[in-house]
């Protein structure tokens, strides 16, 4: 299974330094026969690291992490501060080894975990809250003010 991810495996930036590996401003290859994997062509590029847990089956699980803080939205792939890259999670079932043994073999139990499988672009939180809620809030305020107005009769 890990061989399927070998072309996208990169070490995670030490200390999660900002944009340590973000390909902002990178132009696509001139040779059309060379095609980058989708995770590197995305507006929110990501790479994979391998998570290892000897008490889990499978022991090795590839986990995605975002390469950029923002999203590559400009004409030349510039990073936009109006959007942020965020991981996309998928719930999955694993087997977790217990301290118990049965017939000389380990006993495993099902465990549900969420694994980051890629990254996507979302509007910045403040901008998103303003744009989505502003018209709703204004209508609510108008309704409240209208209800509390003393009648002129």
Does the residue 57 lie in any domain?
yes
At 123-143, the pLDDT tens digits run: 987 644 455 455 555 555 444
Does the residue 48 lie in any domain?
yes
Q: Using CB atoms within 10 A of its CB, is residue 14 exposed (0-12), middle (13-18) or buried (19+)?
A: exposed
Q: Using CB atoms within 10 A of its CB, is residue 25 exposed (0-12), middle (13-18) or buried (19+)?
A: exposed
Does the residue 148 lie in any domain?
no
Does the residue 71 lie in any domain?
yes
In this structure, what CATH number is given to the domain that contains residue 79? 2.10.90.10
Does the residue 64 lie in any domain?
yes
Which range, 18-22, 81-85, 87-91, is most confident? Answer: 87-91
Q: Identify the pLDDT of residue 145.
A: 45
Structure tokens at 52: 């290892």
Number of domains in the chain: 1
Task: Give the residue from 90, 91, 110, 108 showing the smallest Cα distance to 99.
Answer: 108
pTM: 0.66
Domain span at residue 61? 38-89+116-123
Does the residue 68 lie in any domain?
yes
Structure tokens at 83: 């959007």
Backbone φ and ψ for 110, nearest 5 degrees, come out as -70, 140
Q: Identify the pLDDT of residue 77.
A: 86
| Stretch among 67-71, 97-101, 148-152 having the lowest mean pLDDT | 148-152
Rounded Cα distance, 120 and 86, in Å: 6
Does the residue 47 lie in any domain?
yes
Give how far Cα 23 sits from Cα of 32, 48, 64, 76, 103, Å. 19, 15, 16, 11, 53
Would you give the end-to-end CA distance of the chain in angstroms? 78
Res 25 pLDDT > 70 = yes
């Amino acid at each position: 299974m890990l061989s399927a991810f070998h072309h996208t495996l990169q070490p995670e930036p030490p200390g999660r330094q900002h944009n340590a590996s973000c390909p902002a401003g990178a132009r696509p290859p001139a040779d059309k026969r060379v095609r980058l994997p989708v995770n590197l062509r995305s507006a929110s590029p990501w790479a994979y690291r391998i998570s290892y847990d000897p008490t889990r089956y499978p022991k090795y699980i590839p986990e995605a992490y975002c390469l950029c803080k923002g999203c590559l939205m400009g004409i030349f792939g510039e990073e936009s501060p109006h959007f942020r890259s965020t991981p996309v999670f998928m719930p999955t079932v694993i087997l977790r080894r217990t301290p118990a043994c049965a017939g000389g073999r380990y006993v495993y139990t099902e465990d549900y975990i969420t694994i980051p499988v890629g990254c996507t672009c979302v509007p910045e939180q403040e901008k998103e809250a303003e744009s989505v809620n502003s018209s709703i809030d204004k209508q609510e305020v108008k309704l409240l003010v209208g209800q509390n107005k003393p009648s002129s009769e």
